[in-house]
Copies of this chain bind each other. A is one copy, B any other.
Amino acid sequence: MEIVAFERGHFSSYSACGIPYWVGGDVPERDRLIARSPEEHRARDIDLRMRTEVVEIDVEGARVRARDVDSGVESWTSYDKLVIATGARPIRPSLSGVDAPGVHGVQTLDDGQALLDSLSATEGRRAVVVGAGYIGVEMAEALINRGYEVTVVNRGKEPMSTLDPDMGRLVHKAMEGLGIIMVNDSEVTGFRTGDDGRVGAVVTADAEYPADVVVLGIGVRPETELAKAAGLPLGDRGGLLTDLSMRVRGHENIWAGGDCVEVLDLVSGRERHIPLGTHANKHGQIIGANVGGGYATFPGVVGTAVSKVCDLEIARTGLREKDARRVGLQFETVTIESTSRAGYYPGSAPMTVKMLAERRTGRLLGVQIVGREGAGKRVDIAAVALTAGMTVEQMTSLDLGYAPPFSPVWDPILVAARKAVAAIRSSV
């Protein structure tokens, strides 16, 4: 196969998920985040054209128009098979001052470098993070680790809106414990700039938060302008729609994957936009197999995600309460407190597990975990159980690993499952 790849940026394959840890200093240098350089791709016979942006897809003519970013020169390239992997674009609100120096997104390596340069360029130690999702809390950690006074301004009632608010509240309290100032229920209305034109404060309806640097972490949208212009099918969330083989629906020779597509949520049966590297990597592998004449499918996701703020681990899989309600499910919720290890074993740390199970059937619908070491990856137990369609009753007899340094004799997931069984029984 003759493979031509276009990339408008300066970097080819890198871990965007690692950017907060590079900014925070855990990862010492940018190049550690690069999985494969353009040269390495080319050594594999991929004609990789860097700093070259595809500006049009001509589906009828089976060709793309690409522009050299620096020279502006354009040319058409024909294809037999096309793979769209345009990723996601950070949401940048159209507010006054949003483009001022000192206001940063953190989507690309270029963004990360710009933020680090900005941090070096200012004496001030006050940072405001706008948004309290994964990127927001990870950037709050990064900036705390660099010695900044950090304020997080969040539109929602609690941080981490991928959790139910009762679990988000645990994150809120832990962040405050780390010295982060959490401002919830607060919409940013603009950014005040100083005489030097640089950002000086984040403005909300109620208050002004002085800022020497601002990080925007208010989410991303699928980067599908090109696909939309080409008439390719988009879902409610703006992502490309594919079939199980990652082929764009209705288009025999076009595939799409990564942050620019919507994925099937196996628990709710709905399409969702979940921009995560773990899905994108699977998509790449599957598209590669299919384009190459093999066979592989991406059956969907259950919505697993894990993150941390300093030593607080945050994980979720499946549906939140509002997700379940939205698709007409009735359910019971239980929340339990347990520990990461046997209570008597040193380092045993508290862990809160919330579990949702469908009324009557008892089918597991979702799990959220907030705790310390050992809390995050425990969500995988629930992720596999969700994939298998297990009931909480079935989960109570799961044969999970036990030894005092690893778990209480009843793993926290089992404790939650037992309580969920009781809740389902009493609800009838």
**A36 sits at the interface (CB 8 A):** no
A33 to chain B, nearest CB (A): 6
A61 CB-CB contact with B under 8 Å = no
CB <8 Å contact, B406 and A306 = yes
Tell which of B302, B374, B403 touches A399, judged by Cβ atoms closer than 8 Å: B302
Interface string of A13-42 (1 = CB under 8 A from B): 001011001000011000011000000000
Q: Which parts of A378-406 form the interface with B (CB within 8 Å)?
A: 378-381, 383-385, 387-388, 390, 394, 396-406
Interface membership of chain A positions 265-291, coded 1 if the CB is closer than 8 angstroms to chain B and 0 otherwise: 000000000001111011001000000
Whole-angstrom distance between the alpha carbons of A317 and B345 in the complex?
23
List B contacts of A352 (CB < 8 A): none
Least Cβ distance of A245 to chain B in Å? Answer: 12
Highest count of chain B CB atoms <10 Å: which of A345, A399, A403, A409: A399
A15 to B15, CA, bound (A): 44
Answer yes or no: A51 CB below 8 A from chain B CBs.
no
Q: Would you call B278 and A402 a contact (CB within 8 A)?
A: yes
CB-defined contacts of A381 to chain B, threshold 8 Å: 380-381, 384
Within 8 Å by CB of A401, from B33, B305, B345, B401, lies: B305
Q: Is the CB of A33 within 8 A of B344?
A: yes
Distance A306 CA – B409 CA, assembled complex (angstroms): 12
Residues of B within 8 A of A409 (CB): 15, 17, 277-278, 281
Residues on B with beta carbons closer than 8 Å to the beta carbon of A379: 401
Provide 19 A-B residue pairs closer than 8 Å at the C-beta atoms, listed in order of the A residue: A15-B404, A15-B409, A17-B404, A27-B344, A33-B344, A277-B409, A279-B399, A301-B399, A306-B401, A306-B403, A307-B403, A308-B403, A377-B401, A380-B381, A383-B399, A384-B384, A384-B385, A384-B398, A388-B388
The interface of chain A, by Cβ under 8 A from chain B, is 15, 17-18, 21, 26-27, 32-33, 134, 276-279, 281-282, 285, 297-299, 301-308, 313, 315, 317, 342, 344-346, 374, 376-381, 383-385, 387-388, 390, 394, 396-407, 409-411, 418
